[in-house]
Amino acid sequence: MNLDFTHNALASSWVTSANAPACDFPIQNLPLAMFRRTGSNEAFRAGMAIGDRVIDLAMLSQAPELEASLRAALIACAAPTLNGFLALGSAAWTGLRHGMFRLLARDANPRARQIVEAALVPMGAVEYTVPVRIGDYTDFYTSLDHARNVGRLIREGDPVTDNFRWIPIAYHGRVSSIGVSGQQVYRPHGQSMKNGSPAPTYGPCEKLDYELELGLYVGRATPRGSTLSVDEAEGHLFGVCLLNDWSARDIQWWEMAPLGPFLAKNFATTISPWIVTLDALAPYRRHWTRADNDPQPLPYLESTANREQGALDVRLEVHLHSAAQRNAGRPSARLSGTTFSHQYWSVAQMLAHHTSGGCPMNVGDLIGTGTISGPGEGEAGALIELSRSGKTPVDIGNGEVRSFVEDGDIVILRGWCERDGFARIGFGECRGEVVAMPA
């Protein structure tokens, strides 16, 4: 991943809100989402974030003064989903980013500024939808710390299964229940087996949990029967979002053997609306490492380039905002914080393994990274880890505690990247509210 003029920390925009130090969406970011004005019957179309504004790219595409290649990319963004734009390929992705950067830069010519100003919409006045037509969704399980923490709760001895250190483990998820930030999450019903009970019972989940993850959007398709090397894989990924893989733990423990989760995972997945491109994330690469006493990857999962810059340093936090906190005007409680750079497998290794059996990938496919937990206290990416499956409930303030997520709770994921010498960029929020299943 090469650095270019769009990563210059000294660059600023004539959109003054984009220059605030804590802004998620400075000119160095320029993520994409699908939006419309709140409460309107407008068609959803692509928007680009800059400061506290959304640029209506469909409106901007109508400006005849823009160069032809930029207009072609903008016209593709006027469709109801981003699939058509993604299918144009990496040259178009980079071209849109570079072209919009020039239009938004502080030294842009007055006519360029005038064209873009006409397409600006206040971010507080819009609503979002899922940005791409997702054909398939695969969720991985790639945090060694998460595997250890959860494994200790359900298995004695070595909590990590033998295959974890050799293979990026994953399961296929359900697309129909993926929703964008703000999603209402219905508490699922299912079977569970209580300790000491002779038979399972059916009813509402009693151990509802969140999972802090990133989502990866596939931007280039692969045909059935083909494979991707680790070095090829990242060129097929367009960008990254925040992802909450809601989990019904009591249902999960009963149904997982021998084929894995089903009802425990298929009821809701919440994603943040903004897709941060891999181009924007280039400055926040780290060396990907594997402990010397751990098995080293098999050749098809190994790469010098992956070793040099395969890890992504995305900082992450989980907050919980209870109904009581909201009613009293109190802020949310921060539950944990960590970084994606701790993940045992890289994003390139995940996609390379996904295709290694000849599985075709389609434009718009979504890949979940699995729960992101770190090694330190307070770095767990799921409540089951923080509360040790309810044995040590988490204090969220003012006398409230949580073993698992309760009805009325809003779970909020936040993410950002920062590094000396580069601008801070953010992912916005991914939030979902738990409510009872409709009668």
Q: Report the SS3 class of residue 325.
A: helix
How many percent of the chain have pLDDT more than 70?
99
The string of pLDDT tens digits covering residues 172-206 is 999 999 999 999 999 999 999 998 899 999 999 99
Q: Examine the pLDDT at 21 and tell me if it is beyond 90.
A: yes
Residue 156 binned pLDDT confidence (cut-offs 50, 70, 90): low
Pick the range with the lowest mean pLDDT from 11-25, 154-168, 276-290, 322-336: 154-168
CA angle 136, 142, 173 (to 5 degrees): 25
The pTM (predicted TM-score) of the whole model is: 0.97
| Residue 195, pLDDT score | 87
- C-alpha 437/C-alpha 439 separation (Å) is 6
The string of pLDDT tens digits covering residues 74-93 is 999 999 999 999 999 999 99
Average pLDDT over residues 343-366: 97
| Residue 142, pLDDT score | 95
| Residue 324, pLDDT score | 98
| Residue 154, pLDDT score | 75
Residue 26 binned pLDDT confidence (cut-offs 50, 70, 90): very high
Q: For residue 43, which of 58, 62, 63 has the smallest C-alpha distance?
A: 58
Residue 116 binned pLDDT confidence (cut-offs 50, 70, 90): very high
Q: Examine the pLDDT at 166 and tell me if it is beyond 80.
A: yes
Note whether 5-129 and 137-435 share their fold: no
| Residue 46, pLDDT score | 98
Q: What is the architecture of the domain spanning 137-435?
A: Alpha-Beta Complex (3.90)
When computed from its CA atoms, the radius of gyration of the chain, rounded to whole angstroms, is: 22
- Give the residue with greater pLDDT, 1 vs 25: 25
- C-alpha 393/C-alpha 257 separation (Å) is 27
Strand partners, 48: 32, 55
Average pLDDT over residues 336-357: 97
Q: Catalytic residue among 7, 146, 236, 354, which?
A: 146
| Residue 349, pLDDT score | 98
What DSSP state is assigned to residue 112? H
Strand partners, 242: 214
Whether the bond into 21 is cis, omega within 30 of 0: no
Q: Is 146 a catalytic residue?
A: yes
Fold (topology level) of 5-129:
SH3 type barrels. (2.30.30)
Average pLDDT over residues 261-267: 95
| Residue 1, pLDDT score | 65
| Residue 155, pLDDT score | 72
The string of pLDDT tens digits covering residues 27-59 is 999 999 999 999 999 999 999 999 999 999 999
H helices within 155-248, ranges in order? Answer: 230-233
The string of pLDDT tens digits covering residues 90-111 is 999 999 999 999 999 999 999 9
Domain range summary for the chain, segments of one domain joined by +: 5-129, 137-435
Pick the range with the lowest mean pLDDT from 57-66, 145-154, 259-268: 145-154
The CA distances from residue 96 to 76, 88, 99, 418, in Å, are 11, 11, 5, 23
Average pLDDT, the chain: 96
